[in-house]
A and B are shown apart, each in its own frame.
Chain A
Amino acid sequence: MSRAHQLKISVSGIRGVVGGFFTPNLACAFAQAFGTYVGPGRVVLGRDTRASGPMLEHAVTCGLLSSGCEVVKIGIAPTPTVQVYVAETRARGGIAITASHNPPEYNALKLFNAEGLFFNHYERGELLELYHQSAFSRVENAGMPGIRFDMESAPRLHIERVLKHVDVDRIRRRRFRVALDGVNGAGSEMSVRFLRDTLNCELHAISVNPNEPFPREAEPKPEVLGDLRALIVRENCDIAFAQDPDGDRLAVGDQTGRILDNDDVLALAVDCVLRRLPGPVVVNLTTSSAIEDIAARHNCKVYRSPVGEANVVDRMKSVGAVIGGEGSNGGIIFPAVQYCRDSYTGMAMLLDRMAETGMTASQMAAALPVYHRRLGKAGFEHGRLGALMQALEAGFPGARIDRRDGLKLILGDGWIHVRASNTEPILRIAAEARTMDRLNELYGQAERLL
């Protein structure tokens, strides 16, 4: 593997393989840059369950203290929980030590501002500049802040926000049989308490021990959720949930043991929200057109943003969106809870909708508009990207063009979206169509041109 892939320092923060690449020194320096940027005050620090989490937590704490920030440690916590806690406690900012859905050898720092949101593009550039120039604030002994611990209140504050938007009693009364795969991640214990105790579900949980390694690939893709699917069938569950290690992404299985397409999960969440609270919707360019169809049922408008949670959130704020997200990444963003991808909001919404309608999970999914989707990737040589994009554009002369993130070609009965990944040296190809034949035709044509 190339060095570029094992360590990446960019406007998105710092991410890399621990043990030679993502060193404590880099983590500490990045925390110094962050502490310098947000200024003296409280900074919230949480982490997921990766083996390198404790080591990096010490390094980040060192950097934050030295730049004048008091550190509030909340221990193992899902990323959305960190974000809610930052906002609730009016901290200067927050850091989640997590590489999200990346494999266990990776770790990363997710950085949040005083509202618990990702920094915008300009802010991230400025922070990176501070890091590169080592232009850090350095407090002396007399002004050295300390460390506080709050291991209790963060999950409670997060769940309280989620529960304001569902009818807890009707969920509790149904006593749903729920299967859960927590990937032994940051949400493991919190999800068990949430589903079993708060929502009174009959819970059948696997991989909810935060002291154990990830038992499967960290990203909750259908092909790695075999154990969960078997659990659904064996325990005759109504619905199943799978999280990623930092609890922002959510995968959903229906009562037949089928894992729903992530775009369909987002579509269900959009439908749930717009029924009660009509308003603008924001999704990324790669998300299914099903979102437009559902929004149209509620006379609501859909806006598209480049891929990436920060981009979606930026757009949501500017248009006043009531719901948003990223289809392929399994991320539901419900700003009434927090402008962040949040698996807990997703779980609560779907259970509430089932309680309200009496529909099964598969019935809810079957009511969605039908699209066929295909995602793939292709390697490319540096310097060839422009030529590839031009060839692709020339291959579909009648298409409507959207260039905000790579190239999206929108045809009457489908679309193709090709973009360079932010995190890996590959091209991501996505296509969608009304029929499988048309999808294969579009995807095949794009593949040949690339």
Chain B
Amino acid sequence: MTVKTHLRISQFGLRGIVGRGLTPAHVLDFSAAFGTMLGARSKVIIGRDPRASGQMIREGVASALMACGHDVIDLGIVSTPVIQHAIAATDARGGISIGASHMAAEWNALKFFGEQGAYLSTAEADELLDIYHLKGFEFAPWNQLGAYSRDDGGIGRYIGKLAEVFDFAALSGFRVLVDCCNGTSALILSRLRDQFGLNLVLINEQTEGRAFAHEPATDQRTVQMQLAPLIKHVGADAGFLFDVDSDRVALATENGEAVSEELALVLLADEMLALGPGDTVIANLSTTALLDEVAAARKGRVVRIAVGRNSAADALSGFRREQVAIAGEGTGAVMMPQFRFVYDGIASMLAILTMMKRRGQSLGTILSAYPKYSILKGEVPLESHRIPQMMDDIESRYPDARKNNLDGLRIDFDDAWFHVRVSQTAPIVRVIAERRGDPPQALFEELMDTVRSYN
């Protein structure tokens, strides 16, 4: 494999396998670019997930930010939403989350946030990349460097925010099984269990730096293998699985069924549209069409955007806060207006439990009311220079279908759709096809074959 597969620099920021692709030079340069973009001396809040490489990366991030004249406040090992809330709670101008989310332990990454803990817009992400590539860093003079300090109160304040939105006492009747994947969710959930009376049964609770009990992916397959089989044993009302930095969630029903990763957003969209006032759902082109059907039933509308949190940030900025009911993706990443539009797996879990409580229905019962959609997802490693030709090829095969080129190619038929796009986080082409009813197997296979033929 080429080095390219171990390092990915994109609008999402920096991501790679430490030692094989991701080096201190990348970390320092990216952080110095961010420090330069933020301008005059300010506060920057950082935190990391438990990966062993996180400590090395934190040192590099801190030095570059300090060299640019920014005071660095380190929250230690915390979830990404904790960092975003800490930014919003102070006059910090931005923040950096060090962690590779749902990826395996050998990976690490930097995620960047602006004021109020917001995701960078595509324009800001582009500016960051430009500064990174030009290496035109603006370092402060020797006597105006930033200072570094630790703040261990981040999780406590975050839980305080959760308590303002959710009624913990009302949720304590649910027995909930949670797979923490050895990540940061454990640090928050153990306190909700021990101090706030939630009936949580945590597995893989110990935070780990070098190896996770299993790949921390929030998809149906992982839930099926790791979490669902245990549900009945512990007599849980629901099961949840978090990625390492706890911005995503996956679920299992009380019957031990692994739920599609597409459905966390659908469930919460249904609930938020019902509660109002927002009537708009923001979701990317790869997310299930069930969302449109559920939204329509609630007289809401779905705004489709390109994949990625930068695009979500762009879209959010175009609406008044009260217009938006919810935003998210079919990956288990969901953000809600009550919680400052931060992708937050734990807030999503609490919102789903609250929904169950409000309706007086089990998770399985709520889900069984939705019509059946079947989605197929695939990926093919591909050299980038053949991608335009491939896209043209696929597009030419469906001259009469509805076409959307906002992010790669999405084609919509009456009862099905597909989306072919290049991943921002890995050098692969993603293929997604969905149909109301049974899986669109033939369509999916044909697309995969076509994509593979360009390999």
**Interface residues, chain A, with chain B CB atoms under 8 Å away:** 17-20, 23-25, 27-29, 32, 50-52, 54-59, 61-63, 65-66, 104-105, 107, 136, 138-142, 144, 146-147, 213
Contact A144–B28 (Cβ < 8 Å) = no
B227 within 8 A of A: no
Contact B18–A62 (Cβ < 8 Å) = no
Which residues from chain A contact B60 at a C-beta distance below 8 Å? 24, 28, 58-59, 62
B305 within 8 A of A: no
Identify which of B17, B62, B145 contacts A52 (C-beta below 8 A).
Answer: B145
Contact A141–B142 (Cβ < 8 Å) = no
1/0 per residue, CB under 8 A from A, across B15-44: the answer is 001111001110111001000000000000
Which residues from chain B contact A107 at a C-beta distance below 8 Å? 142
CB closest chain-B residue, reference A142: B210
A141/B63 contact (C-beta < 8 A), A59-B28, A66-B19 known: no
Give residues 63-112 of B contacting A (CB, 8 Å). 63-64, 66-67, 105-108
Contact B55–A25 (Cβ < 8 Å) = no
Which residues from chain B contact A61 at a C-beta distance below 8 Å? 56, 59
CB distance from B72 to the nearest CB of A (A): 9
B174 within 8 A of A: no
Contact A141–B23 (Cβ < 8 Å) = no
Identify which of A32, A51, A65, A142 contacts B106 (C-beta below 8 A).
Answer: A142
Report how far A140 CA is from B56 CA in the complex, Å: 11
CB closest chain-A residue, reference B140: A19
8 of the cross-chain contacts (CB-CB < 8 Å) are: A19-B145, A24-B60, A32-B24, A51-B145, A58-B66, A65-B56, A141-B18, A141-B209
Which residues from chain B contact A140 at a C-beta distance below 8 Å? 17-20, 53, 106
B162 within 8 A of A: no
Report how far A18 CA is from B142 CA in the complex, Å: 5
B211 within 8 A of A: yes
B57 within 8 A of A: yes
Which residues from chain B contact A52 at a C-beta distance below 8 Å? 142, 145
Contact B52–A144 (Cβ < 8 Å) = yes
**Interface residues, chain B, with chain A CB atoms under 8 Å away:** 17-20, 23-25, 27-29, 32, 51-53, 55-57, 59-60, 62-64, 66-67, 105-108, 137, 139-148, 209-211
Contact B20–A66 (Cβ < 8 Å) = no
Report how far A55 CA is from B144 CA in the complex, Å: 11
CB closest chain-A residue, reference B145: A55
Contact B59–A62 (Cβ < 8 Å) = yes
Report how far A398 CA is from B390 CA in the complex, Å: 87
Which residues from chain B contact A139 at a C-beta distance below 8 Å? 18-19
CB distance from A165 to the nearest CB of B (A): 38
A138/B23 contact (C-beta < 8 A), A24-B32, A62-B59 known: yes
Contact A28–B63 (Cβ < 8 Å) = yes
CB closest chain-A residue, reference B64: A24
Report how far A66 CA is from B19 CA in the complex, Å: 7
Contact B56–A144 (Cβ < 8 Å) = yes
A141/B52 contact (C-beta < 8 A), A58-B62, A59-B60 known: yes
Contact A62–B66 (Cβ < 8 Å) = no
Report how far A19 CA is from B51 CA in the complex, Å: 31
Identify which of B20, B55, B66, B108 contacts A65 (C-beta below 8 A).
Answer: B55
Which residues from chain B contact A23 at a C-beta distance below 8 Å? 32, 67, 137, 139
Which residues from chain B contact A213 at a C-beta distance below 8 Å? 143
Identify which of A65, A104, A147 contacts B143 (C-beta below 8 A).
Answer: A104
Contact A58–B59 (Cβ < 8 Å) = yes
Report how far A27 CA is from B142 CA in the complex, Å: 14
Report how far A27 CA is from B24 CA in the complex, Å: 11
Report how far A231 CA is from B23 CA in the complex, Å: 52
Report the 10 A-B pairs with minimum CB-CB distance, sorted nearest first: A59-B63, A58-B63, A62-B60, A62-B59, A65-B56, A140-B19, A18-B142, A144-B52, A24-B63, A55-B66
Report how far A104 CA is from B27 CA in the complex, Å: 27
Identify which of A25, A51, A65 contacts B59 (C-beta below 8 A).
Answer: A65
